[in-house]
Amino acid sequence: MAEEGLGQKVDSEDLESVVSSGMDLSEKTRSASFLQQDSRVLFYRSLLEGVEIMGIKEALEKDPDVNGYFGRAFKLLDREYPGDTEGGYFIRVKKGQTVELPIQACLFLKAQGFKQKVHNVIIVEEGARVYLITGCSASRAAHEGFHLGISEFFVRRGGYLNFTMIHSWREDVSVKPMSIALVEEGATFISNYVCLKPVREIIMYPTAVLLGREARASFNSLILSHPNTVQDIGSRVIFRARDTQAEIVSRAVSLGGKVIARGHLKAEDKDVRAHLECRGLVLSEKGMIHAIPELETDLREVDMSHEAAIGKINKEEIEYLCSRGLTKDQAQSVIIRGFMDVDILSIPELLKKEISRLEDQTLKGAL
């Protein structure tokens, strides 16, 4: 699949949807790309030596090492995972490699009523650094679709993985991602999650396990909730080594849907520092936000905190902007836009701009 690019693999009617999940179809600003539609891998290409990308099935057949990783994160936490997956991506960044431009992977739902079940494995070898952006979206025809996405991340010693997931589904699609990141000594795992478009139901509680000293994790989420939808979205960090730290930050705006914003920090070793911050704005009477922050430890030598704040837009803030000449509606949308601040995401400027543009489009339509 050398000549044809990612852009040629997407049907013209689906272009908008795929782009709205953060994909650069020209591949110009990406190091490697992967596309799976329903259960079929349509495209993969790496433009950088040191970055391997392919379907998981192919990787398991080609390289016995990959078998050692498949399912390992779930076994470590004694958790079951569905075995009936079809496809998913495999990405490996070689030891010491710094990947400047992000790698992109798109999981696309096309056929009506299709149940897409994928199992992804991402390995960042020792000292390697990489940005990965995964976009999940659905075609106009994918009524009543379902997506189950299992992801296992292995960030080896001193590695850095910055993972951004953009969900851009449709109002009749249900989604269940299950992911675990194992983060070794001196390594960093950052997860940025963005969900702006309507979706019937999302249930997810991604977990990072910090296994070595000075390992770090950070989860940042921006969630927009539309009427008649449920988003049960959490982030969990388990600290299994000393001198580890983590941060969980989430912002949720309900335009009428139900959001359950969970967060769980569990310290199993000492000298842990962690903070959890959850903020929600409820803009409609039908909207509902339930913030459930949890801190847990048996040890004394930990420093964990949380803050949660939920409410409607402060009238004083609206009037302040009105006193600068903005109409009430303008003021309200500027405040919501500011609340859904892309700066809480730890991503490169390029991606920030892309997500900012998506936010502008979505909010303009929704408000």
Rank residues 28 and 315 by Cβ distance to another protein and give the closer one.
Answer: 315
Site string for another protein, 271-310 (x = CB under 8 A): ----------------------------------------
Q: Which of 100, 320, 361, 364 touches another protein (CB under 8 A)?
A: 320
Q: Which of 8, 29, 67, 327 touches another protein (CB under 8 A)?
A: 327
# of chain residues touching another protein (CB under 8 A): 22
Judge contact between 185 and 160, C-beta under 8 A.
no
Q: Give 57's Cβ-side CA count (13 Å radius).
A: 12
**Stretches 5-13, 171-179, 291-299, 313-321: which one binds another protein (CB under 8 A)?**
313-321
Smallest separation, CB 335 to another protein (Å): 6
Cα distances (angstroms) measured from residue 309 to each of 205, 253, 293: 20, 12, 11
In whole angstroms, give the CA distance from residue 169 to residue 23. Answer: 14
Name the residue with tokens 């339509």.
365
> Residue 315 interacts with another protein (CB under 8 A)?
yes
Cα distances (angstroms) measured from residue 178 to each of 6, 150, 174: 26, 5, 13
Site residues (CB under 8 A) for another protein, limited to 338-367: 338-341, 343
Q: Which of 103, 105, 204, 335 touches another protein (CB under 8 A)?
A: 335
Q: Which of 71, 326, 352, 363 touches another protein (CB under 8 A)?
A: 326
> Residue 12 interacts with another protein (CB under 8 A)?
no
> Residue 312 interacts with another protein (CB under 8 A)?
no
Rank residues 146 and 339 by Cβ distance to another protein and give the closer one.
Answer: 339
Cα distances (angstroms) measured from residue 14 to each of 114, 141, 156: 16, 10, 36
Q: Which of 230, 260, 308, 334 touches another protein (CB under 8 A)?
A: 334
Rank residues 109 and 340 by Cβ distance to another protein and give the closer one.
Answer: 340
Dig out the tokens for 125 from the structure.
């070898």
Q: Which of 64, 68, 325, 365 touches another protein (CB under 8 A)?
A: 325
Name the residue with tokens 């070794």.
184
**Stretches 54-62, 82-90, 169-177, 331-339: which one binds another protein (CB under 8 A)?**
331-339
| Residue 135 Cα to chain centre, angstroms | 9
Q: Which of 144, 314, 353, 364 touches another protein (CB under 8 A)?
A: 314
Cα distances (angstroms) measured from residue 18 to each of 141, 283, 310, 337: 14, 28, 32, 23
Rank residues 102 and 280 by Cβ distance to another protein and give the closer one.
Answer: 280
> Residue 322 interacts with another protein (CB under 8 A)?
yes
Smallest separation, CB 359 to another protein (Å): 11
Smallest separation, CB 340 to another protein (Å): 7
Binding site for another protein (CB under 8 A): 314-317, 319-328, 334-335, 337-341, 343
